[in-house]
């Protein structure tokens, strides 16, 4: 898909959204003026945030943004990001979120695909990679080739693209508010008077809705660590006496579980992760280290949160959130959805007849009302006529003592495995462990050991075979150069 195929529609006849026109002011910004709502290096109260949103509303109006307008937002995690996002929605505009880590070439391609009327970027260079947030000065530029909104969606996002080309996904304000209501009904999720330490990107659904918007909606103060290192995250958790929940992806839980000497964290309630399957053993390891649950969630950019196990008592199963309709069709999990979340894309393999195709394999427990996600349907391949589930191979690898992470792919008729291992890991021992645990036809033809696995901008493991091979080749070249240099000394 190179762009939307819908014709422009006047804002007055855009599809009705079941959110009130003043939903930002009434549901996200309202509250006592002195109440702390954000902490990005310093506390920000609601009066200060409202003033910043009003300031950005005036600036965006000056470049022509208004009801039914379209804007692409390319800002790093920052107070400016929050203020501009909320200002755009206050003005009745449709917002497309672009990850600030995209190259200019990738941004140009996204702008050509989405055709926004306004592009908002930062006058400053983003902070270093391990910084949790930046100082950003928003610069709004009108784009003469931009088009007004052709649908009534408030939010447009691009999927992570970890397994293929990114999809354009859109949600209405009503969709967002329904998801926030799902979070409100979860007793274990952060609520009023509590606090969230957010590690996930606010450009993507978990960080945006489960972190930022829920924090504003539920009056749970949101903190972003100054540095996304284990020490920086733990310092942020220890920096308040409020009950604290950490929200991130499994990579962050692995990082914290490996911390050598974590400080006492008496106000830590739990950590919640989503985005990928959690490797066997990680929940127990995290709980031993910190004495609190590692909760998990299952969701999609298209719908937000779908099912949760916030106390870690159901793992690997999860309980669907309020109002979520599910069914299994030939092993695929499908979700009830009144309309397609893919504007301009008519693809019955993604959405049809009121059902969204997740392309995830799952099991449904009819008696208990639980769902267990088994992995991607496309992770099931045929080797010599025998079915192999790549997720099973991956989980077997991550259960080996020296393996921290693994990605298993099928390319050119063969299974390949890329492993992030502990220093000094012995390849022969790993192969012996696989021989004892997996039938011969399930074993990878190639095992590549890497210091770290490549990830997408959202922190998900990259699963593109060509990119993984390039990373492995670069690692071998780097190791050879280091060995040559050492020998020459």
Q: Does 263 lie in the same domain as 236?
A: yes
Confidence of residue 458 (pLDDT cuts 50, 70, 90): low
Q: What is the pLDDT of residue 1?
A: 31
| Of 73-87, 404-418, 454-468, minimum mean pLDDT range | 454-468
Segment 245-256 shows an average pLDDT of: 94
In this structure, is residue 372 part of a structural domain?
no
In this structure, is residue 292 part of a structural domain?
yes
In this structure, is residue 333 part of a structural domain?
no
Q: What is the pLDDT of residue 8?
A: 36
Confidence of residue 105 (pLDDT cuts 50, 70, 90): confident
Segment 19-33 shows an average pLDDT of: 93
* Higher per-residue confidence, 110 vs 19: 110
pLDDT digits (tens, 9 = 90+) for 214-230: 999 999 999 999 999 99
Segment 332-345 shows an average pLDDT of: 90
Q: What is the pLDDT of residue 2?
A: 33
171, 204, 220 — which closes off a domain?
A: 171
Segment 361-374 shows an average pLDDT of: 92
In this structure, is residue 334 part of a structural domain?
no
Q: Residues of the chain with pLDDT > 90: what percent? A: 62
Confidence of residue 162 (pLDDT cuts 50, 70, 90): very low
The domain that contains 299 carries what CATH number? 3.40.50.12780
15, pLDDT greater than 60: no
Q: Does 295 lie in the same domain as 181?
A: yes
Using CB atoms within 10 A of its CB, is residue 15 exposed (0-12), middle (13-18) or buried (19+)?
exposed
How many separate domains does the chain show? 3
In this structure, is residue 340 part of a structural domain?
no
In this structure, is residue 366 part of a structural domain?
no
Q: Does 318 lie in the same domain as 180?
A: yes
Q: What is the pLDDT of residue 120?
A: 97
- The closest of 187, 273, 278, 272 to 458, measured between CA atoms, is 273
* Higher per-residue confidence, 249 vs 456: 249
Average pLDDT, the chain: 89
In this structure, is residue 332 part of a structural domain?
no
- Distance separating alpha carbons of residues 446 and 314, to the nearest angstrom: 34
Q: What is the pLDDT of residue 457?
A: 66
The domain that contains 409 carries what CATH number? 3.30.300.30
Q: Does 198 lie in the same domain as 238?
A: yes
Q: Does 313 lie in the same domain as 184?
A: yes
- The parent domain of residue 248 ranges over 175-324
Q: What is the pLDDT of residue 11?
A: 37
Q: What is the pLDDT of residue 462?
A: 87
**What DSSP assignment string belongs to 313-372?**
SSTT-BEEPTT--EEEETTEEEEE-SS-SSTT---TTTEETTEEEEEEEEEEETTTTEEE
Q: Residues of the chain with pLDDT > 70: what percent? A: 91
Q: Does 162 lie in the same domain as 248?
A: no
60, pLDDT greater than 50: yes
Q: Write phi, then psi, for 368 (nearest 5 degrees).
A: -90, -10
**Residue length of the chain:** 489
Cis preceding-peptide flag for 50 (omega within 30 of 0): no
Q: What is the pLDDT of residue 404?
A: 87
* Higher per-residue confidence, 353 vs 376: 353
148, 171, 194 — which closes off a domain?
A: 171
Q: What is the pLDDT of residue 7?
A: 33
Q: Does 252 lie in the same domain as 154?
A: no
Q: What is the pLDDT of residue 382?
A: 77
Q: Does 183 lie in the same domain as 166?
A: no
Q: Does 266 lie in the same domain as 244?
A: yes
In this structure, is residue 359 part of a structural domain?
no
- Distance separating alpha carbons of residues 463 and 166, to the nearest angstrom: 13
The domain that contains 110 carries what CATH number? 3.40.50.980
171, 205, 230 — which closes off a domain?
A: 171
Segment 138-146 shows an average pLDDT of: 96
- Distance separating alpha carbons of residues 299 and 373, to the nearest angstrom: 11
Q: What is the pLDDT of residue 206?
A: 94
Confidence of residue 127 (pLDDT cuts 50, 70, 90): low
Q: 335-353 burial, b for 16+ CB within 10 Å, e for fewer?
A: bebeebbbbebeeeebbee
Q: What is the pLDDT of residue 97?
A: 96
| Of 122-131, 284-293, 424-433, minimum mean pLDDT range | 122-131
Q: Does 2 lie in the same domain as 129?
A: yes
At CA 143, angle to CA 140 and CA 149, rounded to 5? 95
469, pLDDT greater than 50: yes
Q: Does 64 lie in the same domain as 125?
A: yes
456, pLDDT greater than 80: no
| Of 232-241, 371-380, 477-486, minimum mean pLDDT range | 477-486
pLDDT digits (tens, 9 = 90+) for 388-429: 888 889 888 988 988 988 999 988 888 999 999 888 888 889
| Of 4-13, 80-89, 150-159, 330-339, minimum mean pLDDT range | 4-13
Q: Does 179 lie in the same domain as 167?
A: no
């Amino acid at each position: 898909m190179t762009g939307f195929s819908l014709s422009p529609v006047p804002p007055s006849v855009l599809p009705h959204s079941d959110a009130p026109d003043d939903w930002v002011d009434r549901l996200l910004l309202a509250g006592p003026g002195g109440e702390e709502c954000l902490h990005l290096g310093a506390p920000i109260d609601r009066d200060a945030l409202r003033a910043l949103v009003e300031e950005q509303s005036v600036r965006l109006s000056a470049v022509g943004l208004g009801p039914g307008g379209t804007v692409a937002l390319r800002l790093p995690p920052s107070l400016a990001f929050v203020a501009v996002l909320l200002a755009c929605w206050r003005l009745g505009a449709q917002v497309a979120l672009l990850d600030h880590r995209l190259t200019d070439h990738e941004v140009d391609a996204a702008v050509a695909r989405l055709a926004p009327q306004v592009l908002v970027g930062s006058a400053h260079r983003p902070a270093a990679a391990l910084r949790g947030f930046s100082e950003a000065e928003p610069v709004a530029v009108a784009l003469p080739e931009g088009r007004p909104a052709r649908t009534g969606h408030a939010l447009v996002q691009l999927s992570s693209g970890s397994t293929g080309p990114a999809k354009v996904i859109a949600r209405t304000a009503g969709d967002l508010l329904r998801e926030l209501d799902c979070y409100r009904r979860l007793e274990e999720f952060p609520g009023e008077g509590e606090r969230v330490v957010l590690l996930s990107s606010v450009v993507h659904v978990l960080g945006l809705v489960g972190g930022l918007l829920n924090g504003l909606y539920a009056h749970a103060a949101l903190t972003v660590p100054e540095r996304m290192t284990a020490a920086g995250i733990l310092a942020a958790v220890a920096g308040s006496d409020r009950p604290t929940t950490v929200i991130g992806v499994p990579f962050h839980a692995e990082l914290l579980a490996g911390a050598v000497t974590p400080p006492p964290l008496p106000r830590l309630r739990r950590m919640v992760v989503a985005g990928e399957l959690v490797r066997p053993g990680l929940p127990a390891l995290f709980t031993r280290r910190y004495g609190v649950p590692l909760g998990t969630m299952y969701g999609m950019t298209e719908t937000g949160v779908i099912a949760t196990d916030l106390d870690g008592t159901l793992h690997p199963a999860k309980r669907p959130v309020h109002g979520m309709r599910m069914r299994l069709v030939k092993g695929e999990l499908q979700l009830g959805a009144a309309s397609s979340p893919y504007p301009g894309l008519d693809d019955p393999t993604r959405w049809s007849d009121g059902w969204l195709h997740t392309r995830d394999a799952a099991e449904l427990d009819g008696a208990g009302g639980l769902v267990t996600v088994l992995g991607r349907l496309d992770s099931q391949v045929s080797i010599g006529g025998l079915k192999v589930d790549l997720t099973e191979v991956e989980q077997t690898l991550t259960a080996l003592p020296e393996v921290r992470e693994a990605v298993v792919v099928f390319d050119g008729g063969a299974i390949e495995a890329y492993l992030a291992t502990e220093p000094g890991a012995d390849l022969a021992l790993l192969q012996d462990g696989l021989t004892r645990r997996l039938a011969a036809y399930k074993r990878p033809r190639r095992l590549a050991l890497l210091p770290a696995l490549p990830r997408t901008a959202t922190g998900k493991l990259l699963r593109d075979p060509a990119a993984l091979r390039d990373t492995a080749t670069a690692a071998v070249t780097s190791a050879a150069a280091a060995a040559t240099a050492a020998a020459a000394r």
